[in-house]
Amino acid sequence: MFGRSHAPAALVAPASLYVAAAFLLPVAILIAGTILPGGKLSAAGYVRFFADPLSLEVVWRTVRIGIVVTIVCIVLGYAMALAIVDAGTKARGQLIGLTILPLMISPVARTYAWVVILGRVGLFNNLIVGLGLTQQPFRLLFSEGAVYVGLVQLFLPIMVLPLVSALENLPADVVAAARTLGADWFTVFRRLLLPLTREGLVIGGTLVFNGAVTAYVTPAVLGGTRNLSLATLLYQQVAVTDDLLAAGVVATILIAMSVTASVLLRRVSTSRDRALTRAR
Amino acid sequence: MRAIGRIVLGVAFLFLIGPFAVIVAAAFHGGDTLTFPPNHLSMRWIMEVLANRNFQTSFVLSIVLAIAATLAALALGVPAAYALVRYRPRGAGAIRGLLGSPVVVSGLVVGLALLHYVVVPLDLPVTIALFVAHTAILLPYAVRVVSASLVNLRVDIEEAAVLLGASRLTAFRLIVLPNIRNGLLAAFVLGFITSFNEVPASLFLTGPGIRTLPIEMMLSMELVYDPSIAALSTLLTLGTLIMVLASERLLGLSRYV
Amino acid sequence: MFIRTLAIAACIVATIAAAASAEDATVVLSSYGIAQPQYGKDLYSPFEAQCGCKVVVDTGNSAARLAKLEAYKDNPDTDVAALSDASAAQAAKEGLIEPIDVGALSNFPKLYQIAQDPVGGHFAVGYTFYATSIVYRTDKMPPVTSWQVLWSPTLNKRIALPDITTTQGVPVAYMANLTFNGTMPDMKVGIAKVTALKDSAVTYYPSSAVATQLFQQDEIWAAPVGRFDWPNLKKLDVPLAWSMPQEGQSGGMNVLVLVKGAKHKALAMKLIDAWLSTEVQTALASDLVDSPANSEVKLAPAAAEILVYGPEAVKSLHLVPPDVVLANRAAWVADWNAGMAH
């Protein structure tokens, strides 16, 4: 009944055409513009970018931020997901709701909260000075560390949700069976849980890495102008110099980073677990 | 084991949600400058923020934009999701990839590209560009959420309707739509909130008197050192909370995310 | 569902239509973000009442707004802009602005001589001057007598500096250059010295208002800022003082320009004239927003002490001429970027 028909083409056409025309086309022109300045094929824009030591610093910082935030989110996220799944079916729904909640709140508000907490006269410093742990308050804001904290808070829920989903889909008695057969918790984790939740890890990891690398608000507010990431560098270049070629180069590198990460991370998830998770 | 789990969750949620409590407390400080903890409480900054003309204008723009973009994304996304789930055509994977692509690219790039290749050359008002950008950004969410609810809807009810003489369109209208109503509403709420909070794409797409609320907030943050931003954040958080809790209660929002 | 969609669509169309119709009696101004409430009270509201029109303001720092003018060159959405004199010189060079018919400005003759044609060709008229010097916490250090204090190890991670692309960036680099005996127009010594502080500075601020915030949050103890920020700084609950270093102060002039192809030129000219009028300039000065460029403004001693008042005060500042900025800016920015990398 839903076999061959011209209907599907007509139904997906508007959305597909829209994405192609309103989104892909302008972005493609922007990318093309970086190798065709003034209509002639040239890598001058990229040469200029990579020759500038500040640019390289920004690229490495962005990659570093992506990797650190992703790893921290994986570790914390896995712990949270295990705890949520362990909590029993009734509490699970509420806990998932509680996890989704921060995602809905404006990133500007979320980042501003960290300004209040990490500032020199903010909550954290007042606490540790008040408790006598240290004489002088710490400089926490306008640092790469502050960016890590802000981004982890932003993306942790995104890591937790696919993991919970993956853990929930495990056949119910698998863990119990393994324990009965004598496996300790570490072995259970390494040989059983990790491989079976690989796809969830990949989905979450990709979303978190992409998000961390392309984030704007958090590095802008918590990192300051001395800790530029590719996104804040892009904004600065467009807003201050109106150099479309330079901005296009930064934008292209940003896109390349996201795409590479997505492709690489997808390779990690193999077809083996797809067969297993499908057997629900 | 459960105990460790409880501790982990306690710490985790303190980290995730604690900062909002801080902001809410800071919002009620009555003094002139941002202070935490607040040493005398007052509604002063909440009232000032509500009366601020710039915030009011941006708020209206953000609301209108969010509604319009979400409706547009659903208008495009629902048929696409339906086709992908029911017909499973060849190249479905590629189409899904295409429709999901705006998620991979930073909103900054989208905003920049639209500004330089659409707004300026065509002398288009910035509001249109905002609408176009937000719709593109929301489309992947619309497709994903609606697909999820369509997958759970049994095909045989539709088939029965068609067999009994209904046209495909009527079957869609009378059978499918009511049954995925919750999914649609969830998609609407998700899209609305995503558009309302959107920053990167909206960053370049500003003009005289045209700024979405998050952008207005960010720029304000650089200029003021009083609790007004905390007050505004508190109001927005409250609004979002009410929306999400209501959706969770009425629609089971968490099932679709 | 269908009806609802239609209703919402209708609302959207109505909103857009309303916005479009408001355009006819509108003048669009691009200006600094600081002190907008006072501008509303002293300039925009009286002007709107007088002309029966609406003033729409786009704010940001000078460099960002100049970039916007460049982007919208062929279809300007702005009519008037308040820029630094250096940004105005650049705008004139790039053909973004048109000469002002100063004969049509009734208040033009009242301006100080140096404010009448600051970038040449009557492309701009000055509306305010300001001094740039170091503001510091009196409870954390002895009185500041020299610009060298910024390089003192005791202020490590306690200072903020302006980015070279901002309005204060060049004056500060210029004073560093002067203090450490560098040469002009290359300013290499000054730029090298300022970027050498990159690990000592908390941040390179994009606008003076951010510096204010940093003082308030106790993140910094000293920073060079423009005098127009001093009234805000005085209001903070930390003890601050404005220094008079032995090497002198720098500063600048902010100017008004007319955007080429402005859609509301007549209203724009009226706004410029109103901005230069004795009433408005006096009001802004009394509110401690901007030092007057109108020579007929008479100030109470309290205000006069805080602002840069009178031609002698202006002459004492070390100002960098806009044409020098224009010719050397690219080289300065390149040197700056090289200095900022580790």
Whole-number Å distance between alpha carbons of C307 and C322 = 22
Distance from CA of A241 to the nearest CA of B (A): 13
pLDDT digit string (tens) for B13-47? 989 988 888 888 888 888 777 777 777 888 888 88
Cβ contact C250:C175 at 8 Å: yes
- Using a CB–CB cutoff of 8 Å, tell me whether C23 touches chain A: no
CA-nearest residue of chain C to B128?
C16
**Are B253 and A99 a contacting pair at CB < 8 A?**
no
- Paired tokens of B191: 């899209």
Cα separation of C165 and C38, whole Å? 26
Q: Out of A24, A95, A210, whose CB is closest to B9?
A: A95
Same-domain pairing of C173 and C71: no
B165 touches chain C (CB under 8 A): no
For B131-148, give one letter per residue: b (16+ CB within 10 A) or e: bbbbbbbbbbbbbbbbbb
* Subunit contact A112:B233, Cβ cutoff 8 A: yes
Exposure b/e, C43-55, CB count within 10 A at least 16 = b: bbebbbeebebbb
Record: contact C75-B120, CB cut-off 8 A: yes
pLDDT grade for A275, boundaries at 50, 70 and 90: very low
| CA distance, residue B73 to nearest chain C CA (Å) | 13
Query: Both A29 and A161 in a single domain?
Result: no
Cβ atoms of residues A19 and B99 within 8 Å: yes
Domains of chain B: which residue ranges?
Answer: 53-255
Q: Does B120 touch chain C (CB under 8 A)?
A: yes
Is the same domain home to C9 and C114? yes
**CA-based nearest distance A96→chain B, Å:** 7
Q: Under a CB-based contact definition with an 8 Å cutoff, are residues B43 and B235 in contact?
A: no
**Residues of chain C with C-beta less than 8 angstroms from the C-beta of B224:** 209, 213
Digitized pLDDT (tens) for each residue of chain C, 342 residues in all: 555 655 555 556 555 545 544 446 899 999 988 888 889 899 999 999 999 999 999 888 787 888 888 888 888 889 999 998 988 999 999 999 999 999 999 999 999 888 899 998 999 999 998 889 999 999 999 999 999 999 999 999 999 999 888 889 999 999 999 999 999 899 999 999 999 998 899 889 887 778 888 898 888 999 999 888 888 888 888 899 999 899 989 988 999 999 999 999 999 999 999 999 999 999 998 888 888 899 888 888 877 777 777 777 777 888 888 889 888 988 898 889 888 887
Is residue A232 within 8 Å of A68, Cβ to Cβ? no
The tokens for C41 are: 């009270």
User: What phi, psi does C191 have (nearest 5°)?
Assistant: -65, -45
Same domain, C233 and C246: yes
The number of domains in chain C is 2
Residues A12 and A35 in one domain: yes
Both C215 and C334 in a single domain? yes
C 27-86 residues with CB below 8 A of B?
28-30, 33-34, 56-60, 71-72, 74-75, 77-78
Nearest-angstrom CA–CA distance, B195 and B215: 12
Find the mean pLDDT for residues A172-182: 77
For C72, the closest of B60, B120, B223 (CB atoms) is: B120
Closest residue to A120, CB basis, from C71, C217, C342: C217
Per-residue exposure over A228-256, b if at least 16 CB sit within 10 Å of its own CB, e if not: bbbbbbbbbbbbbbbbbbbbbbbbbbbbe
Q: Which domain holds residue A28?
A: 1-42
Q: Which residue of A has its CA nearest to B80?
A: A12
**B198 vs B155, more confident:** B198
What is the span of the domain harbouring residue C206? 130-251+321-340
Residues A38 and A78 in one domain: no
Q: Which residues of B touch C213 (CB under 8 A)?
A: 222, 224-225
Task: Give yes or no: residues C236 and C104 share one domain.
Answer: no
- Residue C337: closest CA among chain A residues belongs to which residue? A54
Nearest-Cα distance to chain C for A148, in Å, is: 18
Query: Can you tell me whether residue C204 is helix, strand or coil?
Result: strand
Question: What's C219's domain CATH number?
Answer: 3.40.190.10
Residue B52's CB is within 10 A of a number of other CB atoms, namely 18
Residues 166-185 of B with CB under 8 A from A: 168
Task: Say yes or no: C48 and C169 in one domain.
Answer: no
d(CA A263, CA B38): 48
| Residue C150 and residue C80 share a domain | no
Asked if residue B89 has pLDDT above 90, the reply is no
Q: Does B36 touch chain C (CB under 8 A)?
A: no
Burial of B31 (0-12, 13-18, 19+ CB in 10 A): middle
What's the CA gap between A280 and A274, in Å, rounded? 11
- The overall pTM is greater than 0.90: no
A25-35 per-position pLDDT tens digit = 989 998 998 88
| More confident call, C129 vs A134 | C129
Which two three-digit tokens encode residue B80? 């696409």
CB contact under 8 A, B112 and A80: no
Of A22, A114, A251, the CB nearest to B112: A251
Residues on chain C touching B34 (C-beta within 8 angstroms): 216-217
Contact B219 C16 (CB under 8 A): no
C-alpha to C-alpha distance for C237 and A14, rounded to whole angstroms: 59
Q: With beta carbons less than 8 A apart as the criterion, state whether A24 and B117 touch.
A: no
Q: H-type helices in chain B, by residue range?
A: 2-27, 44-51, 53-82, 92-100, 107-114, 120-122, 126-151, 155-163, 168-171, 177-179, 181-197, 200-204, 213-223, 228-251
Domain over B53-255 is classified CATH 1.10.3720.10? yes
Looking at this predicted complex, what is its ipTM?
A: 0.84
- Alpha-carbon distance of C80 to C100, in angstroms, equals 11
Whether C21 and C85 map to the same domain: the answer is yes
Q: Are A162 and A87 contained in the same domain? A: yes
Q: Which residues of A35-61 are buried (b: 16+ CB within 10 A; e: fewer)?
A: bebeeeeeeebeeebeebebbebbbeb
A214, A139: one domain? yes
Residue A91, CA atoms < 13 Å, CB-side half-sphere: 11
Q: Do C58 and B209 touch (CB under 8 A)?
A: yes
Is some CB atom of chain B closer than 8 A to the CB atom of C219?
no
pLDDT of residue A276: 47
For residue C72, which residues of chain B lie inside 8 Å, CB to CB? 120
